[in-house]
Structure 1
Amino acid sequence: MFKFWKNLSVVKKLYVVVGGMALLIAIELGTLVFALSTLSSVRAFVGGEGLWSKAQKNAIHSLSSYIFTKEQHYYDDFHKYMQIPLGDRKARLELMKPNPDLNEVRAGFIQGEIHPDDIPGVIRMLQRFGHISYIQRAVVAWTHADEKLKVLIQKAEELRVIFSKNNVDQEQVRKILAEIDVLNEQLTAYETEFSSVLGEGSRWLENILMMLLVLAVITIEGTGLFLTFSFAKGLNRSLLELNHATREIGQGNLGITVPVHSQDELGQLAQSINKMSHDLDVNISQRLLAENANQVKTLFLANMSHEIRTPLGIILGMTDILKDPQVSDEEKRKYLDVMESTGHNLARLINDILDITKVEAGHLEVEFTGVHMDAFIEELNSMMHVKALKTGSMLRFEVLASVRNLVIATDRNRLKQILVNLINNALKFTHDGTVQVTVGAIHDEMFFEVSDTGIGIPLEQQGKLFQNFFQVDASSTRQYEGTGLGLVLSKKLAKSLGGDVILKRSAPGEGSVFRLTIPQREIAKAEKPAVKTPQEVEAMTEQLRGLDVLVVDDSEDNQVLIEHYLKKRGVLCEFANDGTVALQKTVDKEFDVILMDMQMPRMDGYQATRELRERGYKGPIVALTAHAMKEDRERCINVGCNDYLTKPIESEKLYETLIHLTQVQTQRNTLAKAK
Structure 2
Amino acid sequence: MPVARKLYLVVGLMAVLVATELLTLWFVTSTMSSIRVFVDGEGRWSKAQKQAVVSILRYEQTHDEQDYQRFLEHLRVPLADRAARLEMEKPVVDRARVRELLLTGQIDYEDTSRLITFYRRFRDASYVRDAVSRWLIADDLVEEIMKEAAALRAVIRSGAADASTIERHLERIEAIDERLTELENEFANAFAMGSRDLEKMLLGFLVFLVLAVETTGIGLTASVARSLSQSLREVHRVADRVGKGDFSQKVAVESRDEVGQLARSLNQMTMNLERSFEALRLAQQEIQRAHENLELRVEQRTARLQFLATASRALASTLDYAETTAAVARFGSQYAEGWCTLEVFGEDGATELVVTGLDGELQPDAAGSVEFEPALRKIRDEALATRRAEVLTRSSGSTALCVPLHARGHLVGSLTLLPADPARRFADEEIDGAESLARMAGSAIDSARLYRSAQEAIGARDEFLSIASHELRTPLTSLLLLLQGMLRTRAPEEAAPAEVVAKLRRYAAQSERQANRLSILVDQLLDLTRIRAGRLVLAYETCDLVALVREVLQRNEVSAARAGCELVFRGPEEAVVGSWDCGRIEQVVTNLVSNALKFGAGHPVRIAVERGDGGKARLTVEDEGVGIPEDQRPRIFERFERAAPFAIGGLGLGLYIVRQIVEAHHGTIRVDSRPGEHTVFTVELPTAPNASN
Give the TM-score normalised by the residue count of structure 1: 0.42
**Which structure would you say has the larger Rg?**
2
Whose RCO is larger (CA < 8 A, sep 6+)? 1
Name the TM-score, length of structure 2 as normaliser: 0.41
